[in-house]
Amino acid sequence: MLWEKIFSREYTVQYCEVAFNSISKRVKHLIKDSYMKKLIILPQHKNQCFYFEEGEKKKFIEFIVEEFTSNPKRFINFKDLFNKLGKDYVSISKRISEFNLSGFDKIKLKDLFLEYQKIALDYTCIIWITFLLNEYWSEKGHKLINTQDDKVKEALFRPVKRSTVLIMQEEASRIKGNDEEIKKFWSKYKWISCLDLQNKPWSLKDVEDYVNNLKLGEKYEKLDFEEAAQKANLSDDEKEMFQMIKELGYIKDARDDYRRKGVFYIQGLFIEVGKRMGISQKEVAYLTEEEIISLLDGKQVDLSKCKKRQDGFLLYLKDNEVLCIDHAINEELVKIGFSEEEIEVNEIRGTVACQGKARGTVKIVRTVHDILKIKKGDVLVAVTTHPDYVPAMQKSVAIVTDEGGMLSHAAIVSRELGIPCVVGTTNATKVLQHGQEVEVDATNGVVRVIE
């Protein structure tokens, strides 16, 4: 049995378990009998890596492509479902945040926690579907127009609406050191940093730094969709496919907005649960669903696990039960027969997201805390990027990522900033070393170490 790495993120036990269960039998009402039975989440370089068994991944993608994108009506239904669950997720989280939680007993807190878990599972299922559909259709689109020039590619992959990150940049660029405007901006976007429960909302200082270090790329003339489609000689069916790809690109960004807002609002519940147990919000986030319920039921739970798991943990399914292992992880992987195909690396090559060439010093960024390493003129090398990385991206001369395609966060932001960018290398963070001098050839999609 071979396992394929899907992505790597800086997530807690709580969110990883939700992600695990959100494509399991518990969401059969959304994905029928195509739920996943084989999924492993394991620690690697301060992140948690998600692996699917290759055969099961193939079947799952075949199902969601047919179920949600096989014809225009199904795609419209998918968009409606996405927005409904996203809005419900934010609405329920916000409603819970408005209660005076300190006045509730543990039974009521458990009820609210279970209510949150239910909508979190449903919405995270849609996050998975959106992510995998985006990858599938973007790859198909990229193969079709791989030989076209950058302007054509940008127009055909450009999301139908601008992402929050780009809207934020434009709004921030109009702030001229006015304290009231900065506070208003902060109030509007303080949720943007809430990737997971351990991430605090943006502080006022974070916003001030963001505004003061803002860098916008030079404006460039963009092709409209019809002009690009004509230059690429697309058929009507191919044009329809790219219209869907552009919509999926926007949905991918909106997906993260719903999620971060939901996490922002629900933090109060986890803070209150932590207070009742004498632990921090972050420590609660490293407990499993069953452990949180047990605590709220007045049962004993080994709270030392909260800190131990911050160094890494393993999640996998055994006898229909999700197990969380925080010790002897390698030995456990051997027991369950986990193996990953070894790929020989001769060069670092990926997809060109924004053309150009640049030389600089490699700074490996694996977690949000690593972005402090980035100085002006560095090459940002990351597993992936998200809104928290934008201040570091603005300082960089080039961006290289392991994951992503033409619609990834790194690709879209790099094009707006005018920074050379190569995405989807799969191995840049493994092969390159912190402090190396490299040339990023984002014309040919190659990264070379300068001897």
pLDDT digits (tens, 9 = 90+) for 111-130: 999 999 999 999 999 999 99
Mean pLDDT of 233-256: 95
Tell me the pLDDT band of 249, cut-offs 50, 70 and 90. very high
Instruction: At 144, list the tokens.
Output: 């079709």
Prediction pTM value: 0.90
For residue 323, give every residue at least 6 positions away whose Cβ sits within 8 Å of its Cβ, in sequence order, or none: 314, 315, 316, 317
Tell me the pLDDT band of 219, cut-offs 50, 70 and 90. low
Give the per-residue pLDDT at 275. 96
Strand bridging mode 398-401 / 378-382: parallel
Q: How far is CA 370 from CA 3, 201, 381, 399, in A?
A: 28, 18, 11, 15
Quick check: 331 pLDDT over 80? yes
Task: Please report, for the chain, the start and end positions of each structural domain, with discontinuous segments joined by +.
Answer: 3-145+242-335, 154-223, 348-449
Mean pLDDT of 269-279: 96
Quick check: 342 pLDDT over 70? no
- Domain 348-449, CATH class in plain words: alpha beta
Percent of the chain with pLDDT over 90: 69
33-61 pLDDT per residue, tens: 999 888 999 998 889 999 999 999 999 99
In the structure, how many helices (H) and strands (E) does the chain have? 18, 13
Between CA 384 and CA 285 the distance in angstroms is 22
Percent of the chain with pLDDT over 70: 98
Tell me the pLDDT band of 74, cut-offs 50, 70 and 90. very high
Between CA 427 and CA 310 the distance in angstroms is 25
